[in-house]
Each structure stands twice: as C-alpha cells, then as structure tokens.
Structure 1
Amino acid sequence: MTAKATVTEVRVLTGAALDAALDDVARLRIAVFRDWPYLYDGDLAYERTYLESYRTSAGAVLVGAFDGPRLVGAATGTPMEDHAEDFAAPFAATGLALQDIFYCAESVLLPEARGQGIGHRFFDAREAHARALGRRYSAFCAVQRPADHPLRPAGYAPLDPFWRKRGYAPLDGVIACFRWRDVDRDTQTDHALQFWLRDLDTDIA
C-alpha cells in the first residue's frame, strides 16, 4: 500500500521554479491520466513538448502541491486564445469570445495525496489568476466515456458534483476532440471532451 502523502504547501510557480517543475509535472500527468477515465498511455517526450507552452505563454499559471520537497500534484491554466486552434470551433456558436475565458487545463494529484481539499485550492488559485488577467469566465473540459466501457472501475464516482459545487456547468454541444493512445489500444483514437464553464462574476454557494 502506498503511504499517504501530506500536502504541506500549495503555491503558484513562476520563473525558474516553474521551469524546474515541468519534468515532474510531465511525470504526474503520465501517472494520473493513465487511470480512468483518461486511460492515457503517455510518454515523457510528448509531455515535455506539450508543457513548453507554459514557458512561453505570458498568462499561463502552474500551481504545485508539495509533500515537503516532492511535487505530488499540479494544476495548470492559460488564456483560452492560446488554444484558439483547438477550441475556436467548439465555442463558435456560443457567442463567447475566447479573450474573455481562462482555460483551466489539467489538474493532477497522486492518489495518496487526495482527500485534503487540494482540488478546491487548485481551482481557487487558477480562478484568482484568471480574475487578475481580467477574465470573466473560467472553463475546462473533461473526457466523455460510455457507461459500459470495459475498463470503467466498479463504483466509479464522477467529479460532476464537485465541479457543480465550484459553480461550473456543462456547455451544451461544446465538445472538443483530441487524439491519444489509450492503455488498451495500439494506436491513437479520437476522444470527445465536454466543456464546463463558470462565470467568475457570480459567487458560489
């Protein structure tokens, strides 16, 4: 059994600290997203290329959760227009301008570090960053899987109640499509990801 990790600090990483953490963030993404529902069979070379954008985007944020010196969780976000090529089409019919939206990308936390309220702290930090950038909305997307998928764990509880508690709601028909290789596949396949949105001017209960 893996020993429980106690998160001793959650902080926003910038500059040299951000740069130094990116390989650890890549490893976290590979480990956490390998599990349901993403089933992502990742590799470090791709992850390093993907995370390079956090060095180059002036509006990007990286929030790290630490057990002492060890990074056990991370959450990222960027201005939505940094992903215009991927997200412009799904948002085209909504009437929302990408420049008004902050995109909360991944939120990954090792299983042994869960149950300490870190998910809320990750959203708090990214939403505060979004407001500081003058954004009105915060959004993220989550993979959709069929209820009868053979790798779905028994008793799996989706995160929808947590997201709704944070003030997010799914945007009807706003679906992104990404390709990756699942752990049970030999080749990459398309995956649908549902967008959720929150108005940052509205208080949550």
Structure 2
Amino acid sequence: MPRSRADVAAPPLRTQVLTGRDIAPRLDEVARLRIAVFREFPYLYDGDFDYEARYLQAYVDTPDSICVLALDGDRVVGASTGLPLADEDDGFQQPFIARGIPVDEVFYCAESVLLAEYRGRGLGHRFFDAREAHARALGRFRWSAFAAVDRAPDDPRRPSGARDNDAFWIGRGYERQPGMTMRLAWKEHGETGESDKSLTFWLRRLESDA
C-alpha cells in the first residue's frame, strides 16, 4: 500500500555559503525571509522590505561577511549571517569595549532565520558550523558572539509550549553574558512606531576548536 506522508523521509536540504559581494543576487530573498520569520515571537517584527534591503547591503559591502543559505531546490528557506564585529554599528561594539574585549577579536553571528516547516532538521548546527569555520579561517578572531532579544518568561505573547534556544546555544559552547546588553529599536506588530528592545550577548571562544 502507498506510504503516508509521515512515512516518507523529508528530502535533504542543501546549504550554500556566500561571502561579500556574492551575497548580492540573493539579497531580496533573504530580506523577505527575515520579514517572514522575525514576525514570530520573540521578535514580533513588523518588517519593512526597503529597510531590510538597506540593512543587508552591509553584508554585500563587507568582504569578510558570510551568508549561509538553506535551499530547498533553489528556494531560499533559511539564512544565517555574520561579519566582523568591527564592521558593525557602534551600538553592537560598546558592550565589548566596556567589558575590555577587543572589537577586532570578535566575529559577530548576526541572525539565523528558517521557515517553520524546515525546523528540526539540523540546520541550526549547520548554520553555526559554517559561520564559526569562516571566522576561524579568517585567522584573527578569538571570539564568536551573537545577541538575543530579552523577553520575560511570562510574556503574554509567548506562544503556548514555545521553547527558547538557550539549551541549543549552551550545547554549542556559548555562554550568556549578563550585563553585556544593547538597545535596538524596531516596530513590533501592534505598535504605531519603533520602540527600544534589550538584547543580551552570548560568547564562546573560537580557539578551543583550533
């Protein structure tokens, strides 16, 4: 008898690593993906395509940036970005300067976004593997870092049964850094304008894998 859909293994997804100006042809697809995924909790982002295109242009203009794509056929269903912290805005750099960590020694893993139907298939590890390997290959970074938005455990907008990513990040060797926070402004769904949000950095040493 025919197998049900649940009995059929999902086809493997492929990943593609792009750097610097090679990201440009996929920029619009990544912008739309970010808007679609970040509208979910915890970011609740009311995205704007023109802003996204301008934001992502920084990765095109930064030679040592990386964008890891998850592809279903030729369709972009996930993306993960990173660049040297020295090429980020001052607001990202200040918590490191205050902690006494040289900005030039930090590779910033910016975001990972993946459509819901493709989650649970190992893409999160592949995204981090590729970005950390890229940072080590550049040869000048001691730290890998990212920032996660702070939301209260009892936030009423948290979906029932939702889990955070802390266990995954800790398993990757990252440690949350209380006090290393920054403020970013974006418009949430339901807001009339942008408001500041708090994000806390997570760090891991890269040379431990060298």
For Structure 1 versus Structure 2, the TM-score category normalised by the shorter chain is: over 0.9
C-alpha displacement at 1:117, in angstroms? 0.2
Greater than 6 Å deviation, 4+ residue runs: none
User: Normalising by structure 2, what TM-score?
Assistant: 0.91
- Matched with 1:100 is 105
Distance between the aligned counterparts of 1:198 and 1:158, measured in 2? 19
1:181 is matched with which residue? 187
Q: TM-score, normalised by structure 1?
A: 0.93
2:149 to 143, 156, 159: 143
The residue type paired with residue 78 of structure 1 is L
Matched residue, 2:74: 69
User: Percent of aligned positions with the same letter in both sequences?
Assistant: 51
2:147 corresponds to which letter in structure 1? C
Q: Which stretches in structure 1 are left out of the alignment for 5+ residues?
A: none
Q: Do the aligned residues in 2 keep the contact of 1:84 with 1:98 (CA within 8 Å)?
A: no
Distance 1:172 1:37 in 2: 19
Q: Are 2:207 and 1:201 aligned?
A: yes
Asked if 1:130 corresponds to 2:135, the answer is yes
Paired residue type of 2:166: D
Aligned to 1:9: 14
Stretches of structure 2 lacking an aligned partner (at least 5 in a row): 1-8
CA contact (8 A) 2:19 2:64 kept: no
- 2:52 aligns with one of 47, 54, 60: 47
Distance in 1 (alpha carbons) for counterparts of 2:133 and 2:17: 11
Point out the structure with max Rg over C-alpha. 2
Corresponding position of 2:65 = 60
